[in-house]
Amino acid sequence: MTLESPGAEPKRLVLPQPIANVEDRECAVERALLKQLAPGTVMMCGDNDLLPRMPARPRLVDFFRLRFGRVTYVHLLQSARRARAAGHSDKVVLACLLHDISNGALIRSDHGYWSAQLVAPYVDEEVSWAIRHHQALRFFPDPSVGYEYPEAYDRFFGPDYRVPDYLRRDYENARGHRWYMTSRIITINDIYSFEPGVAIDCAEFEDVIGRCFREPEEGLGFDNSPTAHMWRSMIWPHNFL
């Protein structure tokens, strides 16, 4: 019999989130983990030592630096940098900076919709609208601004890919909208390229964030906004419940 010493930290078990393990319909992974529960062994809740610890009142840049994968981090910053270099407004630069934010540490599927919902309480409505619709607009060329179907999409989805009806619908609805061009500018700057040897840090855009992103005093995830739970899910992505 093994006794835990007073004050010893329990072993904590991490169960993959259901959406990351949806093929396990019989819940074999979950059942196997639950069998390991015993004195001194619990399910994961709170800070995981394998991840950098977030501040008590997280700001947007904290998620960039402490949660986002390197690919999304660099992609978003390069997109925003391109928009700024082209002379676009702070609002457009911010939309480019945030357009794939859910890919950073939350979810990739329908990323435009998730990203728009995530940031909606903190940005101008035009920004969240543009982020939501850029996912659909990516699939449809616009010769008037020199936007072509991405070559990368042929590699990602195959040359015979048919765009789903819901994306076609949202594209058609967006074409006549007053904010169409804001969303289209996101697609123009939404490039899958990484400039080798070019250093880039989110501090470059703290001025834009300060002017256009409403940082809650309590910190993202703790302000009781309609999407606070989504930010908490990135702070503690391994919570059992």
Taking phi over 0 as left and psi of -120 to 50 as alpha, with beta for the rest, 219 belongs to left
**pLDDT value for 27:** 93
Decide if pLDDT at 45 tops 80: yes
Q: Which pLDDT tens digit goes with each residue over 152-204?
A: 999 999 999 999 999 999 999 999 999 999 999 999 999 876 666 677 899 99
Sign of CA dihedral 44, 49, 51, 56: positive
Instruction: Give ∠ CA 111-117-120 in degrees, rounded to 5.
Output: 130
Task: Please state, in angstroms and rounded to a whole number, the distance separating the CA atoms of residues 185 and 146.
Answer: 11
> Within a 10 A sphere around the Cβ of 187, how many other Cβ atoms?
25
Task: Please state, in angstroms and rounded to a whole number, the distance separating the CA atoms of residues 47 and 232.
Answer: 11
pLDDT band at 231 (very low <50, low <70, confident <90, very high): very high
**pLDDT value for 9:** 81
Q: Are 191 and 184 in contact (CB under 8 A)?
A: no
Write phi, then psi, for 12 (nearest 5 degrees). -120, 130
- The residue among 81, 77, 183, 165 whose CA lies nearest residue 126 is 183
Task: Please state, in angstroms and rounded to a whole number, the distance separating the CA atoms of residues 90 and 105.
Answer: 24
Please give the structure tokens belonging to residue 53.
């610890």
- The residue among 214, 215, 213, 212 whose CA lies nearest residue 90 is 212
Q: Which pLDDT tens digit goes with each residue over 116-150?
A: 999 999 999 999 999 999 999 999 999 999 999 99
Domains of the chain: 11-43 (no CATH), 60-235 (1.10.3210.10)
> Within a 10 A sphere around the Cβ of 215, how many other Cβ atoms?
16
Q: Which pLDDT tens digit goes with each residue over 56-95?
A: 999 999 999 999 999 999 999 999 999 999 999 999 999 9
Residue with tokens 């994306």: 167
What count of Cα atoms within 13 Å lies in the side-chain half-sphere of residue 118? Answer: 28
Lowest mean pLDDT among 3-17, 24-38, 89-103: 3-17
Average pLDDT over residues 196-221: 93
Decide if pLDDT at 4 tops 60: no
> Within a 10 A sphere around the Cβ of 138, how many other Cβ atoms?
22
What value does the CA radius of gyration of the chain take, rounded to a whole number of Å? 21
Q: Are 44 and 238 in contact (CB under 8 A)?
A: yes
Q: Are 212 and 125 in contact (CB under 8 A)?
A: no
Q: Are 203 and 78 in contact (CB under 8 A)?
A: no
The reported pTM is 0.92
CA 200 distance to own-chain centroid: 19
